[in-house]
Structure 1
Amino acid sequence: MEDHKNLDLVNTVLCDELLAEIFSHVKDTIDHKNISFVCKRWLMVEGKAKQNLGLCVPGGGSFLSFCSSIQNLVRRYSQITSLSLMMEGEDQNPELLEQVLVAVGSCSHFLRHFRFLAAKATLGGLQALARGCPDISSLHLMCLDPNHMPFLSNFRALRELSLVGCLASEKTNWGDVPAGELALEKLCLEGISPSNSGLGWLWLNCRKLHRLELFNCEGIGDTDTVALMQCLASVQELQLRRCRVIANLILRMVATSCRALKVLIFQDGGDTNGLHHVIRSCTSLEVLELRLPLDLFNEDLAIIAQNGVSLRSLRLHSCWMATGAGIKLLGTQLRSNLEDLALIRCRAIVQDPGTLTCLGQHLKSLRSLNLSDNDLLVDKELVAMLASSCQRLLHLKLRRCRKLTDKAMEYIGRNCQLLRSLVILCCDNITSTGLMSLLTGCQSLTRIWVEKGKLTDAVQNVASKRRVLLPASEPSTSDYQNYTFPAS
């Protein structure tokens, strides 16, 4: 009997696989740390169960200690599929940091996603990584030496590549460098200047690229436009953020060589002439997101309305110069296909009464609507739009619409019966009364993003019975990496 009481059921009955599954569901950080202190078996199982790992390489006196212990650390977490390495201090000893990459390559054989932002990756480190981690499909590097660029072809499974800056070197004729065609589907470049080298080889050897992202770039590297145009031919998604110097050039090349473009995200750009060419030429465009506060006028909206025959998603951020007349054109021309509309900080919809009413009368297929950051939007305008277009609405965002009141929530509760998610963060005049109207009216609601201070006991009880989640912070929606249209 005494032996039965002392029997360790957890360690005798639960196999490693089941214990690892339990560990994977532990969310609390303190509990995660305590797991490894229970016993050696739990320490071993916790290491095998972990799939994502982030490490910060310390500076100063701790740098040498970290580099000497990295082998044991990555060996403990040998099953990880995602690893991120950052640098905390200024000490960047290339030889020691190469040891880090060699250690990762020798122990992390299941690695698929690797971000190395501690320093410039050396050739020896890249060789060890490619040799020891053959399944790496996503690689994120900084300040890559242009002479090492052709070595990327050794990563046979590589499908996604992100480069933060490239070093400058002597002008190279990349056509004379042996080809190493990459099977890249996604390429992200940040901080590229006209003096950066190596991109010429990259453009020449990317022929299957589906997604291209350029952030804060002032050049296209050491290449002619012909090589880049050939690379753009297969691109289906293009993101240009803070690339004012080269935006017009890139957009014109896309309009000329790319007919498969489906997604265009253009932010903080400049000249809209290139944008006009893309919209007129790329008739398969389905998603268009623009944030050009002082560059978007009624004429630009007219071109979008007349040529966006395939648009299913249109997102306009900080649209200051357009008027209600330009916004209304979007409704009258795009009414048959548009499912997702965002008018964020759009001056016309509050300065020109009736603009939203017109949109509602024509956009009958809307599934997702985002009117966030329109401080002066009032109940009457919102209700007038929803009266015509809320029948199929699934997702509604009204973040920082400070003039909306409980009356608008009462209307939504009565009439938006298919609504699944609602964001009403920073809406000062919406109270717990409005929340109760939503919870008792919208039977399809699964999530309402709202401040904790508005959650009375009565609201939380009703939400619990209805299984409605009430998160206090809205998840980021700026990344379109996995963009999907609202479900039917």
Structure 2
Amino acid sequence: MKTTVMMDEALCDEMLQEIFRKLPPSSSSAISLVSRRWLTLHRSSLTSLTLRIPKHSHLPSSFLVLLLHRYTYLLSLTVLLPVSCCFDDDDDLEDNSDNLLLCLIAYPPHRHRLRHLRFMLGSVSSAALQKVSMVPPFRNLVSLNLSRIRPLCFRWVRFFPCLKELSVLNCSPSTDDCLVPGELAVRRGLLEEEEEVVEELGLEVISLCGIRWGDHGFRWLWRRCGNLKCLQLRSCDGTGDGTGEGTRGDDVEYRLLRNYNFARKLRNLQRLELRSCRTIADRVLLDVADNCRLLNSLLLYDGGSREGLRRFIERCTKSLHTLDFRLPLDLDNTHLITTAETFRNLTTLRLHSCCLITGDGLRSIGQVTGGSLSDLTLVNCDVIEKEVGLLTFLGQTLRLLRRLDLSHNDMLVDRELGSMLASCKNLIEIHLRGCQRLTNVIVTKLIKCCEGLETVDVTNCGGINIHGVETLIGDSPRLKKIVVDDSNLSPTARSSAYRRSIQVC
């Protein structure tokens, strides 16, 4: 107790705050118990805060303002529901969500510094967002994450001049937002929108989930996204611009919608991510291939067709250097061979659960991109089991390989992986999660062959036991991070990791 009092008196506020900033998050609860001074200084030293609001709490906004008043240097704020709650029935949250969002306006200490706001507390209204955007300090927000907007409208975005990243978790309009009775008014609005002066937004990253076919609430946004660099779509049946098969009518308004191509405004797009967007994947891929000359990264999960993917690879810009696929029944050897022929400077290839590829496709990749590929992922790919010697070939041809992920390959054995590692002198990161047949033998091989290794994931590797983890932590010369099961962490391993400043996850 005396030691604590002496330390409390000897250290000034600024020095304590600097110490608190360097401590791991797990130390927060211990700091708050030392003294009121430490608790106050710890709160003021935090730059990031997450609040979980009970679903039916009807928390008064004054309480939230009082709470936030204690955190004066926040740069990032997250407000969300408890993990057990969902957004499916959030009608009773709507009014409270708006109130809690608007109460941020009344909190002066942090609003001048806040740059990142993640508000995942049910639906928020466009009116509330516009009110927030009109407060000068909030115009400095750089990123904004929302769960749902009602009604679905993005015109308020223009009042956030510094906004670079926008994410909406659920873009499906609610029942009240469906404007079938006012369809004529909607069409007139679209024609009026054509006559508006288009001012480019500063958005560089957009992430949207749940766009339905026939939604027209996004067209205003797409027309102003000339600066967009990254587009992420998840579980979408449309792009919200009214295009696609089945557009009704032959009048001027619907022809206008049908001829509008949202990708024409995305000429500066560099990264595209499509997750579970099978309905629109082919059209989006071809639109991007034809219009985006700067594209360098593509992630495609659970969507598209074999022919659509082949046409994209053939027509896409040669600057593309990162491919991330999870296409169990759509990706085959022809795609890999075409990829090798088209993208000779490929640096990253990630394949997840791709069942139809064989060693021939991967060998073609290795032969052509051996001098450039540095990141290879083969997660749950049974080609490793079927093609004996494939990993050895890849290790010998991929001379610059630095990151390797072979997670969830149940049949991978020490001999196959060891023969590959013998040629991987530049490896700094390896993931072996779920490889049940690997044993402590591979640990010895890793230490011997990969002296520059910095990150290792051996979670759920049944054959790598406590002794193997101790050896890995104690003998890897440059190890900085290890991901391992708690049951395989002995006191000796923990002590060694702490002494060598190795992060254990």
TM superposition score category, shorter chain reference: 0.7 to 0.9
TM-score (norm 2): 0.83
Aligned to 2:129: 126
**Range with greater deviation from structure 2 (189-198 or 346-355):** 189-198
CA RMSD, Structure 1 to Structure 2 (Å): 2.8
State the one-letter code of the partner of 2:361.
Answer: G
2: distance between equivalents of 1:332 and 1:434? Answer: 34
Structure 1 residues 237-291: Cα deviation after superposition (integer angstroms, max 9, x where no partner): 1111111111111100011001111111111113133332332322111111100
User: Given residue 83 of structure 1, which amino acid in structure 2 is its aligned partner?
Assistant: L
- Identity within the alignment, %: 33
2:309 aligns to what? 275
Name the CA distance, whole Å, in 1 between partners of 2:204 and 2:399.
Answer: 35
Q: Hey, what's the Cα distance between the residues in 2 that align with 1:417 and 1:147?
A: 53
Match of 2:356, SS state, is coil
Task: State the distance in 1 between where 2:4 and 2:451 align.
Answer: 55
1:203: Cα distance to partner? 0.3
- Of residues 404, 417, 428, the one that matches 2:462 is 428
**Residue ranges of structure 1 left out of the alignment (5+ in a row):** 474-488
Q: What is the deviation of 1:116?
A: 2.0
1:216 matched to 2:251: no
1:332 positional shift: 1.4
Instruction: Report the equivalent of 1:469.
Output: 502
Task: Identify which range, 18-27 or 233-242, moves more after superposition.
Answer: 18-27
Q: Secondary structure at the match of 2:477?
A: coil
Q: What amino acid sits opposite 2:149 in the alignment?
A: L
155-164 or 221-230, which deviates more: 221-230
5+ long unaligned stretches in structure 2: 243-256
Match of 1:152, as an amino acid? V
1:163–1:189 Cα contact (<8 Å) kept: yes
Native 8 Å contact 1:203 1:227 kept in 2: no
**Which residue, out of 384, 387, 399, partners 1:349?**
384
AA of the residue aligned to 2:66: N
- Seen in structure 2, the aligned counterparts of structure 1 residues 12 and 431 have a Cα distance that, compared at 3 Å, is closer
Aligned positions of 1:161-180 closer than 5 A: 161-164=166-169, 165-167=171-173, 168-169=178-179, 170=183, 171=186, 172-173=189-190, 174-177=193-196, 179-180=198-199
Aligned residue identity for 1:187: I
* Cα displacement string for residues 318-362 of structure 1 (whole angstroms, at most 9, x for unaligned residues): 111112222222211211111111111111111121211221221
Does the CA-based 8 Å contact 2:62-2:103 persist in structure 1?
Answer: no
CA distance in 2, matches of 1:95, 1:423: 45
Question: Does structure 1 retain, via aligned residues, the 8 Å contact 2:404–2:430?
Answer: yes
Secondary structure in 1 matching 2:323:
strand
2-structure distance, mates of 1:463, 1:93: 45
Instruction: Answer yes or no: is 1:19 the counterpart of 2:52.
Output: no
**2:95 counterpart of 1:101:** no
Partners of 1:461 and 1:27 lie apart in 2 by 17
Hey, what does 1:294 align to over in structure 2?
329
Q: Report the alpha carbon displacement of residue 439 of structure 1 after superposing the two structures with TM.
A: 5.3
The question of 1:410 aligning with 2:444 is answered: yes
Kindly tell me the number of residue pairs found equivalent between the two proteins.
461
8 A contact 2:272–2:299 mirrored in 1: yes
Q: Is the 8 A contact 2:328 2:354 kept in 1?
A: yes
CA distance in structure 1 between the aligned counterparts of 2:17 and 2:49, rounded to whole angstroms: 16
Q: How far apart, CA to CA, are the structure 1 residues paired with 2:41 and 2:386?
A: 61
Matched with 1:237 is: 271
For the Cα contact (< 8 Å) 1:345–1:372, is it kept in 2? Answer: yes
Q: How far does residue 12 in structure 1 lie from its aligned partner after superposition?
A: 5.9
What secondary structure does 2:376 align onto? strand
The Cα shift of 1:112 comes to 1.0
In structure 2, relative to structure 1, the CA distance for the partners of 1:273 and 1:406 (3 Å cut) is same
Q: Corresponding residue for 1:56?
A: 52
Deviations 1:294-317 (A, max 9, x none): 111111111112112121011111
State the shift of 1:228 in Å: 1.1
> How many angstroms does 1:419 deviate by?
2.1
Task: Note the 1:71-110 alignment, pairs <5 A.
Answer: 71-87=65-81, 90=90, 92=92, 94-107=94-107, 108-110=111-113
- Of 202-211 and 270-279, more deviation after overlay is shown by 270-279
2:227 is the alignment partner of 1:193: no
Instruction: Give the whole-Å Cα distance in 2 for the aligned partners of 1:178 and 1:94.
Output: 33
Find the residue that maps to 2:140 and give its secondary structure. Answer: coil
User: Is the 1:260–1:284 contact (alpha carbons within 8 Å) kept by the matching residues of 2?
Assistant: yes
Deviates more, 1:227-236 or 1:16-25: 16-25
Is 1:454–2:488 an aligned residue pair?
yes
Distance 2:118 2:475 in 1: 46
